[in-house]
Amino acid sequence: MTLNKKPHIVVIGAGLGGLSAAISLATEGFSVDLLEKNDKVGGKLNILEKDGFTFDLGPSILTMPHIFKALFDRAGINMDDYVSIQTVEPHWRNFFEDGSTLDLSSDPEIMQQELLKLGPNTPKEFARFLAYSKKLCEVTEDGYFAQGLDSFWELLKYYGPVKSLQEFDVFRSMDQGVKRFIKDPKLVDVLNYFIKYVGSSPYDAPALMNLLPYIQFGYGLWYVKGGMYGMAQGLEKLALELGVNIQVNVEVKEIQHEAGYASAVRLADGSVLKADIVVSNMELIPAYKELMSGQEKEIKRIEKYAPSCSGLVLHLGVDRIYAQLAHHNFFYSDHPREHFKAIFHEHKLSEDPTIYLVAPCKSDPAQAPEGCEIIKILPHIPHLDPNKPLTAEDYADLRERVLIKLERMGLTDLRKHIVSEESWTPVDIQAKYYSNQGSIYGVVADRFKNLGFKNAQRSGVLKNLYFVGGSVNPGGGMPMVTLSGQLVRDKILADLSKQ
């Protein structure tokens, strides 16, 4: 393949991974077409205005803001001129069936008092756990994030076998890692549920996932002023100013290739757009299934990168204020092991789910009419499984079960106060975003299936095809998919330098 001085790059999908890749590559002088099948950029970071309420349809928590800032810094631009963020305090409020609550706070004194609710030794236990979490985070940032390591073998080569085994705590699950330090079962549940960031099970995920609490406590928990979708809007503005050609309502139907190289993409209207390099923000397995024929061997190889869980997402506008809620809230299952077993092993709806609830009006009252607020509810549920299909009635029953549980745990008459509602099931998520079997977070972190790794960003089929997003390293969640766009830039530059 003969490349021009400035190769032309086509990026498929304008989720955060695609936006980040397009910005990162345009900053280096590449010409970039960014193609998005939906009517706006952002992917799962989406927005809906309905009945006077502004619903953030996708991610609700911003962490590691320095990863987003790096996109602007490299372009010589101040992120504050494009995106305004604010800290959230408390980080979140935890509700338990016995009526007790526990706040996670960035304020050490408040955190100390909250932990003392669980016993006199709990603050010391938590301090030891957080030191362990910090160590996991620092060693991961040093190589896996900074160097874009893409496999367990690259990790072994970079860190060495002894350091890899010891410092990554590879022989324990996340739950086992927590229980090394924490005795109180409520705090165990809270720390285990940091796994929500990657849509996996703490009983299956590697102990390395215990870096997640330090990521939150070390880098803070943030909200985008005016709504989370403002991050997508800020990145879109930056991309356009850098010369990225963004096209929405344009769907790619095929990656054309010859002699082991991608050569063009064919669009839904039949037109063909030539490309020297293709970057796909479409998830790995759907991309190979839908955009290239004859990839059964590659699909079989990457099946170990199984989809994460999905969710039943309820966006509710209510005509009252629930003063007991914080911005972020968790209502815990009394049977957490059974809850995760149902989702990840039995592929059925949990009878007693842990519920994530976002009340964004606590930070941003303007998102709802006066005297009203938004209640976003997200219990994790199985991804779509053709062997164990769930019906619309099954999802409706879970909705009722969840609302009854929230009412029992203090949200009095919640169902009576709903004046606006938008709901999403895995079927909707798959149809809207082409995610693998309706997953929300890309690839599940499972130490037995994939050691917690995702697939490499470089395609195993075409030499100039790369992937970004939650189905490849470093994984799912807003910061990681944004980082993937920056890491793919580094890989493309490295590969071009060898030609």
How large is the average pLDDT for residues 270-284?
A: 97
**DSSP summary character for residue 496:** H
Residue 297, in any domain of the structure? yes
Number of domains in the chain: 2
Residue 336, in any domain of the structure? no
**DSSP summary character for residue 75:** T
Residue 314, in any domain of the structure? no
Domain assignment of residue 282, given as a range: 1-40+248-303+457-499
Residue 450, in any domain of the structure? no
Residue 439 pLDDT grade (very low, low, confident, very high; cuts 50, 70, 90): very high
Torsion of CA 257, 258, 262, 264, to 10 degrees: -60
Distance from C-alpha of 90 to C-alpha of 73, rounded to nearest angstrom:
29
pLDDT for 88 beyond 50? yes
pLDDT of residue 22: 98
Residue 2 pLDDT grade (very low, low, confident, very high; cuts 50, 70, 90): very low
5 Rama class: left (phi>0) / alpha (psi -120 to 50) / beta: alpha
pLDDT for 255 beyond 80? yes
Q: How confident is the model over 289-311, as pLDDT tens digits?
A: 999 999 999 999 999 999 999 99
Q: How confident is the model over 314-331, as pLDDT tens digits?
A: 999 999 999 999 999 999
In a shared domain, residues 117 and 179: yes
pLDDT of residue 167: 84
How large is the average pLDDT for residues 122-126?
A: 98
Which domain CATH number covers 467? 3.50.50.60
How large is the average pLDDT for residues 402-428?
A: 98
pLDDT for 380 beyond 90? yes
pLDDT for 1 beyond 80? no
Length of the chain: 499
How large is the average pLDDT for residues 173-193?
A: 98
pLDDT for 230 beyond 90? yes
In a shared domain, residues 121 and 176: yes
Residue 33, in any domain of the structure? yes
Q: How confident is the model over 386-401, as pLDDT tens digits?
A: 999 999 999 999 999 9
Q: Return the axis-axis angle of helices 16-27 and 65-74, rounded to nearest 10°.
A: 30
